[in-house]
Amino acid sequence: MVPGATASGSTQKVAEAFPKAFIYPFFLFHMLMFGVAGFLLAYGAQDAAFVYLHGGIAIIVYVVFYLVIFGRDQVQWMFINAALGIVGIYSQIDWILGLSGRHARDYPWYLHVVPVIYYVLYTFLLRQLVLDLTRSRSDPARRRLVEAAYVVVSLAVYGLALWKR
């Protein structure tokens, strides 16, 4: 058990025990590599079984780490945001595929699952990084402002991607 963790499942102390200076660079790089591999496998080889095996195991491991490091409430927020952000995610995947002259609609829905989940996990990590870099995690007023700015910037990026396509 991580120092500071309790058997009752308190994740706040666990989250505080992890050095954030290590977490963000490690996971941003690690997840980027696995996410790129998952993206290339899904839209290149199109072998759904291998995509789910390769990506699924890593995604489960990432979610477990997120639960331990960030806590249940933050991970729940991640999934709620993902459900609300399907249009944004679709626009980004379509934009990335558009760089090679393809479209998201050219592929069956089940090949999008792993890249979409990686996108959700990666943007969650970016949001956590923004909250920590702005030191707004424990300041409710600053946090509302930073989260609002995060949503506005995200919507601007998604809108631009959809408009350009």
What tens digit of pLDDT does each residue of 74-107 get? 898 888 777 767 777 888 888 889 889 999 889 8
Q: Six-digit token pair at 124?
A: 């969650």
Task: Give the whole-number percent of the chain exceeding pLDDT 70.
Answer: 86
Question: Which ranges in 41-139 belong to alpha helices (H)?
Answer: 48-70, 72-84, 86-98, 113-133
d(CA 162, CA 87): 9
Torsion of CA 120, 121, 126, 127, to 10 degrees: 70
Dihedral of alpha carbons 39, 41, 47, 51, sign: negative
Computed on alpha carbons and rounded to an integer, the radius of gyration of the chain in Å comes to 17
- The pLDDT tens digits of the residues spanning 111-149 come to 888 888 888 888 888 889 999 999 998 999 999 999 889
State pTM to two decimals. 0.54
Q: Are 141 and 70 in contact (CB under 8 A)?
A: no
Q: Is a pLDDT exceeding 70 seen at residue 7?
A: no
Angstrom distance (rounded) from CA 39 to CA 33: 10
Distance (Å, whole) CA 116 – CA 90: 8
Q: How far is C-alpha 89 from the geometric centre of its chain's CA atoms? A: 10
